[in-house]
Chains A and B, each alone.
Chain A
Amino acid sequence: MRQKNQAYRISILAMFIAIIIIQNFVPLFGYIPIGLLDLTTIHITVIIAAIILGPRDGAIVGGAWGVITFIRAFTSPTSPLAPLVFTNPVVSIVPRILIGLVAGWLFIWLRRKIKQTPAMMVAALAGALVNTLLVLGLIFIFYRTPAVAQAYGTADVSRLGGLLLIVVGTNGIPEAILAAVVAPLICTPLLRFRK
C-alpha cells in the first residue's frame, strides 16, 4: 500500500530532524530545567525513530541531535556544563548515535522473544541508559586527562568529576524511566507506519 522508497525515507527522516530541531529550541518542550543539567525529552524522539524506522535511521536521527548539541555548546549552551563537556564531539555525538543503534537493535532482537510492549520498554530503557552512561563515562574519562580541563583554564578536576556523577545520576534515572513509560505509548499507535 505504501511505497517505502528513497523519497519517503528522506522525508520522514527530515521530519524527525525537524522535530529534534524544534525540541532543541522551544523551551519546556525538549529540555526541562531542574538545575545544573536539564532533563531532556529529546532522547524519546530518537528512541521512537529507532523503534519505528530501525536502528540505522535511529542512529541518523540521534546523530543529528548530537551535531546540534555540539554546535550549541559553542554558540548557545543549554546548561553551564555544556560548554565544558559537549564541545568535545566524542562526548556530544557518539552517545546520541548509540541510543538509536542500541534501542533499534534491541527492539528487533527482543521482538522475536517477548511481546511488543515489553520489548519497547526494554529497548527504550536501554537506549536512555546508554545515552546517560556513555555521556557520564566519557566526561569522566576526558576530565581525568588534563588536556580538556586545561583548554578551559583548569577548573578543579576531581571535584567537578564527583559533582557530575551525582547530577548525571539524578538525571539519568528519571530520563530512563520516562523513556520506558512513554516510548510504548507513542510507538504503538505509530507502528502501522513501520517499514
Chain B
Amino acid sequence: MMNKLLLGRFIPGHSLVHRLDPRSKLLLSFYYIGIIFLANNWQTYLVLFLFTILAVRLSEIKMSFFIRGVRPLIWLILFTVLLQVFFTRGGTTYWSWGPIVLSQFGIVNGIYIFMRFVLIIFMSTLLTLTTPPLSLADAIEAILKPLRVVHFPVYEVALMLSIALRFVPTLMDETEKIMNAQRARGVDFGEGNLFQQMRAVVPLLIPLFVSSFNRAEDLATAMEARGYQGGEGRSKYRVLVWHAIDSWSVVGFAILTVILIWLRA
C-alpha cells in the first residue's frame, strides 16, 4: 500500500534525461502539458506521441514503469472517454438511444482525450522518475525567484517544500506504524460503512499530529542551534547548472511547437 506513492519513485540513472537541469525539466514538463492542448487532429497527436516515446527512450527507463503509471488510472480515463463518446453530437450518427448518441465526432473526441491523458501521464511520470524530489524543490525555488519583486517569501516556501518532501517518507513510516499499533488494539481500517471508515481515521490522525508538532519543535531547535536565521543572505550547497543539453532540449520543444502549429487543423 505504501509503495504506491508517486513521489518516492525516483529511479537513479545517468541517461540524457537524468542529467538535464531540474529547472528545465520542470518548466518543459509544464510547457508540454500546455502545448498538448494545441493538438487537434491525428497528425498532431501522432507527432506528440512520437516525441513522447523519444523522450521515454532517452531516459533509458523501461516502458513497463510508464504503463504502471497509467494502470491505476485506466478506469478513470475510460470513464471520462465514454462520457465524451456518448454525449458528443456531430458528424455521422451511427446509433442513438435517448440522450446517448454514438457519433463520429464523439468517437474521435474520445480517442483524442485518451491520447491526451496517456501522454500527460507519461510525461509527468518521466519527470518524477528521473528527478529526485529535493531537486524539484530546488527547481521550484529557482523558478519562483522572480516573485521576490512582489515580496513573495520565496526562500521560506522553498524551505517548507524541502522539509515537507524530506518528511513525507518519515511520516509515512510513522503512519504505518500507528496504523499497525491501532490494528493491534482492534481498530478496523477500510471496513464497515462510510462513517465507520471515516471514523477509523481519527485514532490515526491524533497521534500523527501530536508527533508532527513534536517533530517540528525538535527540528526548529536543531535549525536554530545550527545558526538558521531566516532565508535572507544564505548561500547554497546544491547549485543548479544549466548545461548545453538543457538548451538543446529547449530547442527540441521549440521545434515541436512549430511543427504542431504547422500541422494544426
Contact = CB atoms under 8 A, between A and B. Distances in A.
Contacts of B164: 14-15, 17-18, 21
A15 B171 contact: yes
Contacts of B208: 19
B43 interface: no
B171 A186 contact: no
Interface of A: 2-3, 5-8, 10-19, 21-22, 25-29, 32, 34, 39, 41, 44-45, 48, 74-77, 79-80, 83-84, 151-156, 159, 174, 178, 182, 185-186, 189-190, 193
A55 to B, nearest CB: 17
A37 to B, nearest CB: 12
Interface residues of B, number: 66
B121 A76 contact: yes
From B76, B120, B216, residue with most partner A Cβ within 10 Å: B216
A39 B171 CA distance: 23
Nearest to B214: A193
Nearest to A72: B6
Given A27-B4, A44-B201, 19 more contacts: A3-B224, A6-B230, A7-B224, A11-B216, A15-B167, A19-B208, A22-B168, A25-B6, A29-B204, A32-B197, A39-B194, A39-B198, A44-B205, A45-B205, A75-B124, A80-B76, A80-B80, A155-B84, A159-B87
Given A7-B224, A76-B73, A174 B216 contact: no
B121 A155 contact: no
B124 A8 contact: no
Interface string B182-197: 0000000110001101
Interface stretch (B153-161, B241-249, B257-265): B153-161
27 contacts: A5-B224, A7-B219, A7-B228, A10-B220, A11-B163, A11-B216, A13-B160, A14-B162, A15-B164, A15-B215, A18-B163, A18-B165, A18-B168, A19-B171, A19-B212, A21-B7, A21-B164, A22-B175, A26-B1, A26-B4, A26-B175, A154-B88, A155-B88, A159-B99, A174-B198, A182-B198, A182-B201
B147 interface: no
Contact of B124 (A17, A74, A153, A159): A74
Contacts of A26: 1-2, 4-5, 172, 175
Chain A: interface secondary structure?
A: helix
Given A11-B163, A18-B167, A34 B84 contact: no
A17 B167 CA distance: 10
Contacts of B168: 18, 21-22
Contacts of A19: 171, 208-209, 212
Given A7-B223, A11-B223, A41-B201, A79 B88 contact: no
From B69, B162, B217, residue with most partner A Cβ within 10 Å: B217
B159 A32 contact: no
Contacts of B156: 6, 10
A63 to B, nearest CB: 10
A76 B118 CA distance: 10
